[in-house]
Amino acid sequence: MGKPTGFMEYVREEHSELPPLDRILNWDEFHLPMAEEKLGTQAARCMDCGTPFCHTGTLINRMASGCPINNLIPEWNDLVYRGLWEEALDRLHKTNNFPEFTGRVCPAPCEGSCVLGIHNPPVTIKNIECAIVDKGWESGWIKPEPPQKRTGKKVAVVGSGPAGLCAATQLNKAGHLVTVYERADRPGGLLMYGIPNMKLDKQEVVMRRLQVLEAEGVKFLCNTEVGKDLPAENLLKEFDATVLCVGATKPRDLPIEGRELKGIHFAMEFLTSNTKAVLDRHKNGSFISAEGKDVVIIGGGDTGTDCVGTSIRHGCKNLIQLEIMPKPPLKRAANNPWPEWPKIYRMDYGQEEAAAKFGEDPRSYLTTATKFEGDENGRVKAVHIVQVEWQKNEQGRFIPQHVPGTEKVIPAQLVLLAMGFLGPEQPLLDSLGLDRDPRSNIKAEYNKFATSIPGVFAAGDCRRGQSLVVWAFNEGRGVARECDRYLMGSTDLP
């Protein structure tokens, strides 16, 4: 695909970004567009590799390898190389309902399994994907396409995050009447409030697509929490089928001494309130601010990174990010071969900004918190930390052990807990009486998605546990297919 010898002639080149110290002055996206000619050159690097692992999504060692929604990557790379952008967009939309989202926030497991990546830097798949769909919007190629016929079947989708939006879109395409329930004041779920605006613009990117879905016939009911504002059993009576895509929003806590102190928040409280303030143009002022504070972020994943970028934009005084895992190697380790996801050291946008502002990567590896210390007003003022080393216990499992003599006390007036999620919130599941798996997720077999209640389906993080946006897309499309089959006896959905 692309130019047969392109991978030998051209080097990997990524799009430019605004300098960190410039972009932290606002909440705007900071990636700069690449010229079409350069994008064609990058697409030309896509090899005619025979077996393109990039679009064959699977799990290897519990990590995504390749694209979970099976994007036809070599095909649209070839079309971009030849300048056939509209055809490339058609190919992209065959497998991906919202490439403008994945093109911005997906960690690109496709690039980790790119065959060229065995011996050279991989193809810039994510950048090209984003460029294709952005050109589609700019050129007016993306328009509402309501279904030509309606089936008369009514489907409720609970949750408007990535899985819910994909499910709603596909079910609407099949001709069903789809109503999406969202407890927040705006639809989008994680895409709206879980990811900061500088990473995924809400008005120009998220709302633009939601408006197309509404024009196609999808109905959104916000400020409606099923099980609280609306009895869950009403859905079973009023709809022919129900699809639960409520996410895994129960955060992992850190129950150490001083946890009750003021100024200690879960990361999603911090991120959600901030994004709402940005969208409301700071009219209400009711957000958790890091301005002028020493900030300690506990957790080294994507959510922790988003807390870093947000805190810096607030104007924090200083920032430290605690990561209990060891620092990854600069290159793949021997036990992390291709096409596994490469577990290597990276500086994401938040760490780049922190390094530019404070002089170094804010992450402190192999470090954990042992105690929160408060002042006379019951507010956190310091965090006690210690280094750890991972050792096997009697059962042969690796656990972190404190290293004596490495204890420190660091100042903190704001602590953000970004240690992942434990599963879906349980009240709705309890009210419906749904079966759950040992991890408290809704019990529903992958690729079937049917729960213990006939006509009720589940997909996304509430079924599989906390995962990538692109896996939510995979499950949203899959649950729509199986729900359509349940309603109609057969299905044409992919």
User: How far apart (Å, rounded) are the C-alpha atoms in residues 219 and 205?
Assistant: 19
C-alpha of 215 from chain center: 25
pLDDT single digits (tens) 430-464: 999 999 999 999 999 999 999 999 999 999 999 99
* CATH 3.20.20.10 corresponds to the domain 6-138: no
Look at the block and give the residue holding tokens 């700069």: 32
CB 483 within 8 A of CB 167: yes
Q: pLDDT band for position 286 (50/70/90)?
A: confident
Please answer whether residues 107 and 349 qualify as being in contact, where contact means their C-beta atoms are separated by less than 8 angstroms: no
Tell me the helix, strand and coil percentages in the chain, rounded to 5. 35, 20, 45
CB atoms within 10 A of CB 304: 25
| SS3 of residue 383 by DSSP | strand
Residue 243 has pLDDT above 70, yes or no: yes
Per residue in 16-74, pLDDT (tens digit) is 999 999 999 999 999 999 999 999 999 999 988 888 999 988 889 888 899 999 999 99
State pLDDT tens for residues 145-183. Answer: 999 999 999 999 999 999 999 999 999 999 999 999 999
Query: Which of 349, 279, 282, 359 has the alpha carbon at shortest distance from 319?
Result: 359
The reported pLDDT for the residue numbered 284 is 60
Give percent of the chain with pLDDT exceeding 70. Answer: 99
The per-residue pLDDT for 47 is 87
What global pTM score does this model have? 0.94
Given this model, what pLDDT does residue 79 score? 97
Nearest to 194 by CA among 106, 272, 252, 102: 272
Comma-separated ranges of CATH 1.10.1060.10 domains in the chain: 6-138
Copy the structure tokens of residue 157.
């989708």
Task: Cite the residue boundaries of each domain of the chain with CATH code 3.50.50.60.
Answer: 154-249+422-488, 253-419
pLDDT over threshold 90, residue 282: no
Q: How would you label 66-78 residue by residue, b for 16+ Cβ within 10 Å and e otherwise? A: bbbbbbbbbbbbb
> Which tokens go with 348?
């994401």
Which DSSP symbol is given to 53?
A: G
H helices present in 1-95, as ranges: 6-9, 20-23, 36-44, 73-81, 85-95
Q: How far apart are the first and last CA of the chain?
A: 24
Q: Which CATH architecture has domain 253-419?
A: 3-Layer(bba) Sandwich (3.50)
Distance of alpha carbon 241 from alpha carbon 141, whole angstroms: 33
The Cα 430–Cα 155 span in angstroms is 21
Q: Are 99 and 133 in contact (CB under 8 A)?
A: yes
The per-residue b/e assignment along 424-436, b for 16 or more CB within 10 angstroms, e otherwise, is: bbeebbeebebeb
Q: Return d(Cα 460, Cα 162) in angstroms, integer.
A: 8
Helix (H) or strand (E) holding 278: helix 267-279
**DSSP letters for 186-200:** SS-TIIIIIS-TTTS
Q: Which CATH number fits domain 154-249+422-488: 3.40.50.970, 3.40.50.2300, 3.50.50.60, 3.40.228.10?
A: 3.50.50.60
Hey, what amino acid is at 326? P
pLDDT at 375: 97
For residue 283, the model assigns a pLDDT of 61
